[in-house]
Chain A
Amino acid sequence: GAGVSQSPSNKVTEKGKDVELRCDPISGHTALYWYRQSLGQGLEFLIYFQGNSAPDKSGLPSDRFSAERTGGSVSTLTIQRTQQEDSAVYLCASSLVLRGAVYNEQFFGPGTRLTVL
């Protein structure tokens, strides 16, 4: 079956512009996560959705970052007034949260490589 997909795969933008990154999770997965991976750094948690609500926004680095999820499916991560330090690979993951499960495996998409000039 289809995995997690993200678009665009690459995005080059100028400092100060807004960008939107899209994530299509695996069909039926109720949980969706956004991470950021900078060069030489580990994955940095940004935000988590359960259904359409985001119980944990603690990882968003600034108020320039926002995310939404509609219909319990597609999510968009928006970065306003981009800065050079926003350059990174943005990864999305989804999981099927099962009641009583010991753990919920996250399935990652291929990421969007964002370059801010």
Chain B
Amino acid sequence: GQNIDQPTEMTATEGAIVQINCTYQTSGFNGLFWYQQHAGEAPTFLSYNVLDGLEEKGRFSSFLSRSKGYSYLLLKELQMKDSASYLCAVDLTGANNLFFGTGTRLTVIP
């Protein structure tokens, strides 16, 4: 079977840095995605990793270690609008049928 683990909830302070971890055990791996989902809205794409290492995109960075089945999303200079759920997803077959974790709900406090 497939499994993705993420913390259910996290809280962080405005202006701080937060790291959201994701571990996965899947039968296939063709890359790992991070999506952001504000309450009641559609998920929006944040990042994609297929090779080991860090991908940086503005305030957001994503890291992957394939040997450890581990990824994290790093959010810097947190803003109130970053309060959302962050979804980790693995592309199992390369056909983009994504297997999602249950998501981490991040609350940013003043």
Q: Which residues of A contact B (CB under 8 A)?
A: 4, 31, 33, 35, 40-45, 48, 50, 55-56, 58-59, 91, 95, 97, 102-111
Contacts and interface: CB of A to CB of B under 8 A. Distances in A.
Interface in B31-86: 31, 33, 41-45, 48, 50
A41 B45 contact: no
Interface of B: 4, 31, 33, 41-45, 48, 50, 87, 89, 91, 93, 95-103
Given A42-B4, A43-B43, A102 B50 contact: yes
Contacts of A106: 45, 96, 98
Nearest to B32: A103
Contacts of A95: 96
Nearest to B42: A108
